[in-house]
Structure 1
């Protein structure tokens, strides 16, 4: 049900309430993002969504550099520009913190992989087991902190205004520009919400039990829906071998690299958009 609501939300905010020739390019970019299905909670779908946002903000920057856009935004009241600046700052913060969490996740995954390999080489020796136990406990603690952090980010995300209210004015061009800028923010909120839900994973208690992690039995992970959630399920399960654990760690590390790249690219574009807005105000 939640996935249907998110998909419906993207569809509704992607259709312009009022069209204008000057907004046709960014309208097309918004409609392209609308077709991206981020409701699967998989790394591939979320990465596609982030790439779509990067393209959208490239288009937004071009749109803000148009003389016609700058002219109408220079005449609009300060409330709207403050709304856009506040939203851009919050989006930048969420993007930056999410990127840092991805980096830390990859570092934890790499360390766990190293401990698993050393455990294999040691052949079950106590030293390797103790080190792996500490590494697993460290990962469990990190994931709990990640969930707390993403919860804060989700609250901040909900506070961002975008497309929630209409702007009534005789100048149709002005109304079209304001509508399209608000829809850009709204699409960003929806897609970043999907990212944060992916990063958070299932809200469950992960128990650090080394004996359970190292049992050489098949894992039943049918309920897991993304790589991080699958790894969490592996660690908290009672029937996973070292090979199972290492395989899930490798999957997480592979997916995280893409997130870091896309979030870094999106962060740079958000800075550029904010700079363009500030330039319009200053002139």
Structure 2
């Protein structure tokens, strides 16, 4: 019976003193998590699916940390002939950290403007005078989309660069780098999904705006879980826009509910992103320490 990867310890056994082959428990777990992430990314994007991807990404980087602790994995990364590849990985991790920062800022800004609008709606008894407050909310969302657009372009450039690289190499001396590149690729895809979810479609587009409002106004109160593929952040924005257009205070309670849903969604995503962010930093520091030994 194979030992659990969590219990893998360096020993005199030949396998523990070499780079992980496809039979090594750590490599098997990395492969499993890579496949899980790839499969989840082909499904419909929802807050639940994004949250699951972030959780899986955390698990993946836990195994990456174990991989980086293997003695000859460290030796492989420290080899002079692998210096360029390792530096590319470090450059990539720096960009990923920057993108994580953009995502964290986007979530924070959206959360703050959501909470502010919630507070204002609780105090107001009518929609009169709400235009300026709503404008602040919409302006915030525009700024978030602008920052996200730039981050997505950077990720796409990084993705295109990676796509020209080959991940299949039977030479065990570079197998660890191939694995780390695959981890980098799936991380890019996950962050792209996250950023796209936070941004949502361009609500300034008339067709996008009306499709969102239509979806909201005709949404049933009770739906089966499979049908609930709604983006809480985008949904909240659509209700805010529809409130001002209709001028009907009967919609205020619905808007408040959607803003609350958006806030809870943001909180969940932020927690998952923060946990992954710490693991990404740890992996980068480990590789830097290996190079500096």
TM-score (norm 2): 0.77
- Number of aligned pairs? 248
- Paired residues of 2:97 and 2:277 also in contact (CA < 8 A): yes
Q: Residues 19 and 162 from structure 1, CA distance in 2 versus in 1: closer, same or farther, beyond 3 angstroms?
A: farther
Give the aligned partner of residue 274 of structure 2.
264
What whole-Å deviation, never above 9, does each CA across 1:27-71 have from its counterpart, x for those lacking one?
233233334346422111101111111111111111111112111
Instruction: Give me the whole-angstrom Cα distance separating, in 1, the residues matched to 2:266 and 2:282.
Output: 25
Paired residue for 2:116?
A: 111
Q: Partners of 1:168 and 1:27 in 2: how far apart?
A: 13
TM-score, structure 1 as length reference: 0.79
Task: Tell me if structure 2 keeps the 8 A contact 1:38–1:45.
Answer: no
Contact preservation (8 Å) 2:240, 2:255: yes
CA contact (8 A) 2:41 2:189 kept: no
User: Which residue of structure 2 lines up, in the alignment, with residue 185 of structure 1?
Assistant: 184
Shift of 1:163: 5.4
Q: RMSD of the TM alignment (CA)? A: 2.5
Structure 2: tracts of 5 or more residues without a match: 1-20, 207-215, 221-227
Matches within 5 A, 1:154-173: 154-160=152-158, 161-162=161-162, 164-166=164-166, 172-173=171-172
Determine helix, strand or coil for the equivalent of 1:165: coil
Give the conservation status (yes or no) of the 8 Å contact 1:26–1:63.
Answer: no
1:83 correspondence with 2:88: yes
Contact 1:54/1:269 (<8 A) preserved: yes
From 47, 59, 70, the counterpart of 1:55: 59
Alignment partner, residue 43 of structure 1: 47
Report if aligned partners of 2:51, 2:272 keep a CA contact under 8 Å in 1.
yes
Counterpart contact for 1:116–1:246, Cα < 8 Å: yes
Distance 1:271 1:176, change over 3 A: same
